[in-house]
Chain A
Amino acid sequence: MEPAGRPRDRVPRWARGGRGAPRPAWGVGCGMGTWVVGCEWVGSGGEGRGAPPPPPAGRSRFPSPPPRAHAASSPRGPRARAKLYLGLTGSFSSRCRIDPYGFERPEDFDYAAYEEFFSAYLVILTRRAMKWSKLLKGGGGVQKSGTVKRYIRKGVPLEHRAHVWMGVSGAQARMDQNPGYYHRLLQGECSGRLEEAIWTDMNRTFPDNVKFRKSADPCLQKTLYNVLVAYGRHNQGVGYCQGMNFIAGYLVLITKSEEKSFWLLDALVGRILPDYYSPAMLGLKTDQEVLGELVRTKLPAVAALMDRHGVLWTLVVSRWFICLFVDVLPVETVLRIWDCLFSEGSKILFRVALTLIKHHQAFILEASSVADTCERFKEITRGSFVTECHTFMQKIFSEPGSLSMATITRLRESCRARLLAQG
């Protein structure tokens, strides 16, 4: 196994840019692209900060530089800006062991299949980036609207993701209304138990991500710890619940800002998800039951199988709901789901779950026991169906059929009442 080094050491030389790096074939349809989290990841070490390489042949395909508000922190040079803008690196190799977010790829990662998917997805990304560029022209916040909802369903470019999430979730508004609040929380009184519970999970949150290693600079572990501690002090009814570490971890990776991560976590835990993480976890239990009811209506054969084997829904889907699909589905797919989660609310989780189950219905129905059923529910979260995130996201809005908020509200009420009656 490769020894853990500084993050830069783990990024192949060609991915860092600078002298000696192979010139990437930069453009659409030219082969495998590797996502990176902006240019920061690629060039933060300084080596790549020199004069940008000559403009690539495909440059004209890329949209004009992002609006000024975003350009302020952008690297210089048109190509660098284009990279940042698309959230893509110019390193077109299919052999990068670290994915754009810092996660180590599995030993048996199927680079060929991913390359095939990604070359097609790159075209979509480019088109979406142009559209978003126009939409966000002039800066300012993102307000909810029909257009924004439609755009979000088709994917938010990485560069705009934090901005869009902050806008549509209301996190930006709260942050603006409460200047300094986050930092006051951090300076607040240490309760001991909260900090200890969070600390226990620090080395167990994304150990496969180079940015969360102690050797990383900056080490996101500290950032994550602060966000979780601040949130636990802010929402004392919830404190810290395992699973929030993975969610906050993603927020930190995407926003690269403690304070924004905190307010987005507040949006999710405090408003978007109904009572998932409080000590009774009633909202979580309710939603697991609601999914069961939806399956009963829409996929009765699966519901019958679960009944026959006596499989409780919590056994197979608790991770899905608690972690919001983090570490369940591929990173890119999770981020696309979260785009919609921030914009449209917790209903999206049911759409994703129903799509996974419906699409693999025949496979699930072959299960011969409780454990086999569990195993099959794990299997359906893997493979090309979920990796091909753009198609997957289209499917979640078509496969499960209509899913009104009224239905979900009604089911939530009845399931909650049932759970409370059971004690």
Chain B
Amino acid sequence: MSRKKTPKRKGASGPAASALPAADGSRPARPGTARPGPQARPNGPPQPGRPSLGGGDFYDVAFKVMLVGDSGVGKTCLLVRFKDGAFLAGTFISTVGIDFRNKVLDVDGMKVKLQIWDTAGQERFRSVTHAYYRDAHGQWFPSWWWWQKQAVMALGSQGAKDPTDGRETAPLVAQVECELKGVRGPSSSVSPTPWAWLTEIQDYAQHDVVLMLLGNKVDSAQERVVKREDGEKLAKEYGLPFMETSAKTGLNVDLAFTAVAKELKQRSMKVPSEPRFRLHDYVKREGRGASCCRP
């Protein structure tokens, strides 16, 4: 497989009063559809002052991952932590609409680009975003769903790029995240809405989507509203890999995305000589307990 390079994008020219960084002139002309795909400069919400985020340059395969979950569970924070390795409290704005960032990972010697879609969390945005499950060609496209307060699901696709035509092919991944500690989560157990979430994913996404359930915000054990066992129970019920994460401390964040990338890569490559990657086992084996980040 040839390794593709996409040029780094440059920002638009001219002054920008509240624009993102990178205001330095012209943009290189890009060839058409023969390119393997967008290597867009990933951006956060267009918030003034946000540092520019460099994109990875080389990759062998590319996949889509979608983050879904209730409003305020930390989807954007999780993504920024993964992308930049940073957690800047008090700098995030609520996500309206949809946004994405790219990150290239080295997975067993192969460059895997994850295009991670970050979505609005409020329930009513579902009606707008149903459309993202499949694009106009009937291919899977981003969508998102939320649980009630304690849950984030990330649903992604393995949009494996065919290097010859740049089209995004169908196989998918979904990742599901469950927040175990809502900001002000009232309940002490997993709310019933995850079922609704999972049903939605089953209804709208393709059947071979990769799913993962994450419980975010485990850094503050005292404020925990969902017990680890409850998250595990739910995940087991649905046959999902489950991990507790913290965007604040970084606990398991890279691991979660790496696990998804490994699973996606394996599904798309199907190299017979390679031992089969088992997502559940990997997550169980590598995942660290939340206790490590207790104060």
Contacts and interface: CB of A to CB of B under 8 A. Distances in A.
A330 interface: yes
Interface string B1-41: 00000000101111111111111000101111101011011
B43 interface: yes
Interface in B53-98: 71-72, 90-98
B48 A242 contact: no
A317 to B, nearest CB: 9
Contact of B125 (A242, A332, A363, A386): A242
Contacts of A208: 47-49, 91
Contacts of A375: 9, 38, 40-41, 43
Interface stretch (A107-115, A147-155, A179-187): A107-115
B137 interface: yes
B46 A310 contact: no
Most buried by B among A284, A368, A385, A387: A368
Contact of B14 (A245, A322, A368, A387): A387
A397 interface: no
B71 A382 contact: no
A378 B99 CA distance: 10
A93 interface: no
A383 B45 contact: no
A105 B48 contact: yes
User: Chain B interface secondary structure, helix, strand, loop or mixed?
Assistant: loop
Contact of B12 (A103, A105, A206, A380): A380
A279 B127 CA distance: 8
Given A204-B93, A208-B48, A384 B14 contact: yes
Contact of B131 (A109, A284, A312, A319): A312
A382 B14 CA distance: 8
Nearest to B185: A196
Contacts, number: 206
A387 B17 CA distance: 6
Interface in A316-338: 318-319, 322-323, 327-333
Nearest to B73: A200
Most buried by A among B21, B30, B96: B96
A304 interface: no
A241 B40 CA distance: 29
B96 A369 contact: no
Given A114-B15, A368-B31, A369-B35, A378 B46 contact: yes
B115 interface: yes
Interface string A205-217: 1111000000000
A242 B98 CA distance: 13
Nearest to B9: A375
Contacts of A312: 131-132, 135-136, 141
B122 A381 contact: no
B25 to A, nearest CB: 11
Contact of A242 (B29, B47, B96, B139): B96
A326 to B, nearest CB: 9
A108 to B, nearest CB: 5
Given A285-B128, A370-B135, A330 B16 contact: yes
Given A110-B23, A378-B43, A330 B17 contact: yes
Bin chain A's interface residue count.
35 or more
Nearest to B129: A314
A71 interface: no
A130 interface: no
A243 interface: yes
Given A370-B38, A380-B12, A103 B18 contact: yes
Contacts of A285: 127-128
B242 to A, nearest CB: 24
A369 to B, nearest CB: 5
Contacts of B125: 242, 281
Nearest to B10: A379
B42 to A, nearest CB: 9
A286 B14 CA distance: 33
B250 interface: no
Contacts of A328: 46
Nearest to B76: A204
B44 to A, nearest CB: 11
B132 A382 contact: no
Contact of A199 (B16, B37, B184): B184
A120 interface: no
A242 B93 contact: no
A372 interface: yes
B166 interface: yes
B183 interface: yes
A333 B16 CA distance: 11
A320 to B, nearest CB: 9
Interface string B103-116: 00000000000010
A285 B129 CA distance: 10
B182 to A, nearest CB: 9
A254 B83 CA distance: 36
A20 interface: no
Nearest to A313: B131
Contacts of A199: 184
A310 B137 contact: yes
B17 A315 contact: no
A146 interface: no
B48 A113 contact: no
Contacts of B22: 108
B12 A241 contact: no
Contacts of A99: 17-18
A11 to B, nearest CB: 17
Given A117-B15, A374-B100, A197 B71 contact: yes
23 contacts: A106-B21, A107-B21, A109-B48, A110-B15, A114-B15, A196-B184, A199-B184, A200-B183, A242-B95, A242-B125, A314-B129, A315-B98, A319-B96, A327-B47, A330-B18, A368-B30, A368-B33, A369-B38, A371-B102, A374-B100, A375-B41, A379-B11, A386-B16
Interface of B: 9, 11-23, 27, 29-33, 35, 37-38, 40-41, 43, 45-51, 71-72, 90-98, 100, 102, 115, 120-125, 127-129, 131-132, 135-137, 139, 141, 166, 168, 183-184
Given A327-B93, A371-B100, 9 more contacts: A105-B17, A106-B20, A204-B72, A207-B91, A208-B91, A242-B95, A331-B18, A371-B40, A372-B37
Interface of A: 99, 103-110, 112-114, 116-117, 196-197, 199-201, 203-208, 241-243, 245-246, 278-281, 284-285, 307, 310-312, 314-315, 318-319, 322-323, 327-333, 363, 366, 368-372, 374-375, 378-387
